[in-house]
Structure 1
Amino acid sequence: MPDVNYRLKMKDLPVCERPYEKLEEYGPEMLSNAELLAIIIKTGSRNETSVALAQRILKQDKSNKGLAFLHDIGLEELRRINGIGRVKAIQIKALAELSKRMSSTYTSGKRVVIKTPEDVSKLLMEEMRHLKKEVFKVILLNAKNHMIRCMDISVGSLTASIVHPREVFSEAVKSGCAGLLFVHNHPSGDPEPSTEDVDTTLRLVDSGKILGIKVLDHVIIGDGRYVSLKEKGLM
């Protein structure tokens, strides 16, 4: 009869199956998602290793988002998983937020150049793809397409009452930018533009013409996909 007081420990596993030793020996790229998560949460429960617990956490993903679902799952939902308490839940959410920030961080002092919608996606996809609300951003560019500034303009549905030319162009006028482009996300994950997206964009393009500021594009961010209104001929 098995000992009910026996606690399965990581040191009971072969060395090649221990995440810490495996990372040291072969590098982090050789570890599975569960093994990497196990290192973050450190310990398992009485009857399972941290790797087994990490595997159970990852199986909570019902939307087939993979690791991205860690951005969406809440603290309380994590704590309802057997073996996950307050500290482990906080560790996991901290990891998710850190990964998002790392993905959107550029080397200090490096000038960000925006020439294509793909450049916009590389800059903002990881930051915006998991947002629960629509966020409208403006990227200001100089004559060499170097980013001067990227700033939030509004949060909420993209309508005329939310996105007003005054807020959009006031900073652009102050900075003396040569051009700008708009970016906003669709929380549904589908980046296809709506009628409101197109109408608002055209209204802002007209406002830019009056001020002598060229609107270069409007990029809509979805979940891993993006759409350029310029490329689709909608502006």
Structure 2
Amino acid sequence: MKNTTMVRDLPEQERPREKLIAHGVETLSNAELLAILLRVGTKNVSVLHVAENLLSLYKDSGLSSIVKLAPAQLSEIAGVGPAKAATILAAIELGRRIAQEPFYQKTAVTTPDDAARYIMPRLRYETKENFAIILLNVKNQILSFKIISVGILNASLVHPREVFEEALKNAASSIILTHNHPSGDPKPSSEDIATTHRLVKAGQIMGINVVDHIIVGNNKYISLKEQGLMD
């Protein structure tokens, strides 16, 4: 017995691929988008049902949880398998890279929100803390983005020498500090604040302004500058 209506049994205008072509990709639900990537279901289960099952497994943590799955984990879901898992993860990675593209070189960072939108696709899904810097020119345009350390943020992992070496190498006028909290909560710890103060002071000596420290969580961020925690 079939678990649900098969896609081929739907009116043509309601099938995900035809709906995308006729009305645009933005009109599709998450399940319909996944169904297009999966292409086919199983003998008795619609591809839409497979997509819905996949999403239901992560309903509490959200769609972004799929990003953190290893190919083998995704392959174990009924109706997915290695080939489909590879397709889904490749599509996600393309989306992440596209999200990063517009900010290179000529984008000016004038607010914490500008910085957070640039950082979010780079660090949001990391499962370990990544400490990085955004290097800016005199017009506050992005020169580069550099990962400085990976691991729990502390003074031993983030040394001013490494931070400002990158700034000097790229002739940066100023920098923005940033790191992620894999827990999803961007609230700064005492170590976060202490490390920030240390780097601000080092920047003053080097003549390179530390503009802000942005901590990103699960689709949210905190600016230490906005919180009055930079000094």
The TM-score, its normalising length taken from structure 2, stands at: 0.93
169-178 or 181-190, larger mean C-alpha shift: 169-178
The aligned counterpart of 2:101 is 105
SS of corresponding position for 2:215: strand
Cα distance between partner residues in 2 of 1:186 and 1:39: 32
The aligned counterpart of 1:210 is 205
Q: Deviations over 1:39-85 (max 9, x none)?
A: 111001001221111111111104332x2122122222222211111
Cα distance between partner residues in 1 of 2:103 and 2:161: 32
1:1-235 equivalence runs, <5 A: 9-65=6-62, 67-106=63-102, 111-235=106-230
SS of corresponding position for 2:102: coil
Contact 1:41 1:91 in 2 (8 A): yes
User: Structure 1 78/175 Cα, relative in aligned 2: closer, same or farther at 3 Å?
Assistant: closer
SS of corresponding position for 1:187: coil
Q: Give identity over the alignment, percent.
A: 45
33-42 or 73-82, larger mean C-alpha shift: 73-82
The TM-score, its normalising length taken from structure 1, stands at: 0.91
The one-letter code of the counterpart of 2:45 is E
1:125 Cα deviation from its structure 2 partner: 0.7
SS of corresponding position for 2:144: strand
User: Structure 1 174/181 Cα, relative in aligned 2: closer, same or farther at 3 Å?
Assistant: same
Contact 1:70 1:92 in 2 (8 A): no
1:174 Cα deviation from its structure 2 partner: 2.8
For structure 1, list consecutive stretches of 5 or more residues without a partner in the other structure.
Answer: none
Cα distance between partner residues in 1 of 2:103 and 2:58: 32
Instruction: Select the structure of larger CA radius of gyration.
Output: 1
RMSD: 1.9
SS of corresponding position for 1:46: coil
Number of equivalences: 229
Contact 2:34 2:51 in 1 (8 A): yes
1:111 Cα deviation from its structure 2 partner: 0.3
Cα distance between partner residues in 2 of 1:213 and 1:159: 21
